[in-house]
């Protein structure tokens, strides 16, 4: 799969990360727009490459990852916001298109980067840190590792 096909969700994720850092808000319209554009890009690539199954798997992975994040946020209230869950949906579409190994890399990277963010937050005396950048950066790392 060419790297350029995955750019819509990763670029939109970068914009969402900036918004999350600045205002602690994740614009749902950006998430929805990014998801639709990413889905269209994947569908165009899939039709040309005869790989429609990849798109179905990517959608299932993105929805499953978002549901898992939602479940985790409900288990520990206040640990994550709904913006983090929707960001997971968006980035999960790109990572899911790369396959299950990329998803494994993504979750491991999210965990490690999340722990580093918590440590940084404690060091700075902050208890609330933006998590969308962690989700997006972990997605970029996972896609890069899956290409290797």
Confidence of residue 1 (pLDDT cuts 50, 70, 90): confident
Please report the pLDDT score of residue 71 as a whole number.
95
Q: How many domains does the chain have?
A: 1
CB pairs under 8 A, 24+ apart, for 103-106?
103/61, 103/65, 103/142, 105/141, 105/142, 105/145, 105/146, 106/138, 106/139, 106/141, 106/142
pLDDT tens digits, 75-106: 988 888 999 999 999 999 999 999 999 999 99
By residue range, what is the domain housing residue 21? 3-147
pLDDT tens digits, 98-142: 999 999 999 999 999 999 999 999 999 888 899 999 999 999 999
């Amino acid at each position: 799969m060419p790297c350029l096909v995955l750019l819509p969700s990763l670029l939109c994720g970068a914009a969402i990360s900036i918004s999350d850092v600045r205002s602690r808000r994740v614009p749902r319209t950006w998430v929805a727009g990014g998801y639709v554009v990413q889905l269209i890009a994947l569908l165009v690539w899939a039709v040309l490459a005869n790989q429609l199954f990849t798109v179905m798997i990517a959608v299932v992975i993105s929805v499953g990852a978002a549901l898992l994040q939602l479940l985790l946020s409900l288990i520990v209230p206040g640990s994550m916001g709904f913006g983090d869950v929707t960001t997971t949906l968006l980035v999960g579409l790109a990572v899911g298109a790369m396959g299950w190994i990329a998803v494994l890399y993504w979750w491991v990277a999210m965990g490690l980067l999340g722990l580093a963010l918590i440590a940084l937050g404690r060091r700075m005396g902050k208890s609330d840190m933006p998590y969308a950048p962690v989700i997006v950066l972990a997605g970029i790392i996972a896609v890069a590792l899956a290409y290797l």
